[in-house]
Amino acid sequence: MHYLKIFSTLVKINVEQELAYRADTVINISQLIIWTAWDLLALSIIFTNTASLGGWGAGELVALLGVFRLVNALMAALIWPNTERFNTAMRDGTLDYTLLLPAPALLLVSFTRIAIWRVVDFVIAITLIVIGVTMSAGGLTVAGVLSFALLLSSGMVIFYSLWIAMLAFTFWFIKFDNNVTILQALLEAGRYPATVYPPWLRMIVTFIVPIALATTVPVQALRGELQWWQVLMFLGVAVVVVAVSLRIWRAGLRKYSGASA
């Protein structure tokens, strides 16, 4: 309850900040709608020339686009603003005050700045997933839908964990300002199904840098391509990624001695 109260307070503060700049919010939402239309136009162009892409139909790629946009919305709402703030705090010493507050440092680092207007991005992403599922509803099963929801949630956690690890590296490399850029580049690999990549690259984006677990794999579960043991295996990968990221974060905190040191 203590953590929930802190989180709700941070959300309230960010809502007040967004309401102070209503015109910016309207412009940002308008740009978001335009980019969504552009993504759908790109898919329509692809499917005017082919019936499938890597064995995936139009509806499945629309659902994949929705999953991609959902992960991207998480990145834009939390990761981008808080990374910039964290990197600045590392150099000017204000991170010291954050670590001294009577609250978990990871909670404050993750949610101090939230782009509240990005909730529209979440709505658009979920709408795309529903539309994509409706377009390819032939083989849907209850098990597939449940596996999709479970793997999608674990994929979001995986991407968040990768970000935590990237932030922790800043404790060793103070000028590591490219942590968001690296994540952006990695995320782009999840825009299309992993099956379009050669086997060696597919292995990298699935197990070494598991971006596909946040995008392609949930839709594969929805398509009924995964066995129960594969779902458990991918969930196990998520647990490992979270555990390793938290260990890196704690190691970084132990190394950090303050800006004045």
Range with the lowest mean pLDDT among 11-20, 133-142, 221-230?
A: 133-142
Q: How far is CA 101 from CA 6, 19, 51, 104, 105, in A?
A: 12, 27, 56, 8, 8
Strand partners, 144: none
CA-to-CA distance for 121 and 76, rounded, in angstroms?
Answer: 9
Residue range 74-97, pLDDT digits in tens: 888 888 888 878 888 887 778 888
If pLDDT is split at 50, 70 and 90, which confidence band does 177 have?
A: low
Count of CA atoms in the C-beta half-sphere (13 A) of 46: 16
pLDDT tens-place string over residues 216-227: 888 888 877 888
Q: Please, which pLDDT band fits residue 259 given cuts at 50, 70 and 90?
A: low
Which residues lie closer than 8 Å to 221 by C-beta, 6 or more apart?
A: 144, 147, 148, 150, 151, 231
For residue 179, pLDDT beyond 70: no
- Least confidently predicted of 70-84, 103-117, 181-195: 181-195
Q: Give per-residue pLDDT as tens, 148-168.
A: 889 988 888 888 888 888 888
In the chain, how many domains are there?
1
Q: Which of the two residues, 261 and 4, has the higher pLDDT score?
A: 4
Q: Residue 148: inside a domain, yes or no? A: yes
Q: Is residue 261 part of a domain?
A: no
- Model confidence at 247, pLDDT cuts 50, 70, 90, reads very high
Q: Are 242 and 99 in contact (CB under 8 A)?
A: no
pLDDT at 248: 92
In a domain, 260, yes or no: no
Q: How far, in Å, are 53, 67, 75 from residue 196 at the CA level?
A: 7, 17, 24
Q: 15-19, 161-165, 175-179, 229-233: lowest mean pLDDT where?
A: 175-179
Residues contacting residue 256 through CB under 8 Å, at least 6 positions apart: 95, 99, 171
pLDDT at 261 over 60: no
Q: Is residue 246 part of a domain?
A: yes
Distance CA(108)–CA(167), nearest Å, equals 13
**Is residue 240, in this structure, part of any structural domain at all?**
yes
- Residue 143 falls within a domain, yes or no? yes
Note down the domain range covering 123: 2-255
Residues 6+ apart with CB under 8 A from 41: none
Residue 10's pLDDT is what? 84
Residue 132 lies in a domain: yes
Which whole-number Å values give the CA distances from 160 to 26, 46, 155, 233, in the listed order?
A: 27, 31, 9, 19
- 32 pLDDT band, cuts 50/70/90, is confident
SS3 (DSSP) at 56:
strand
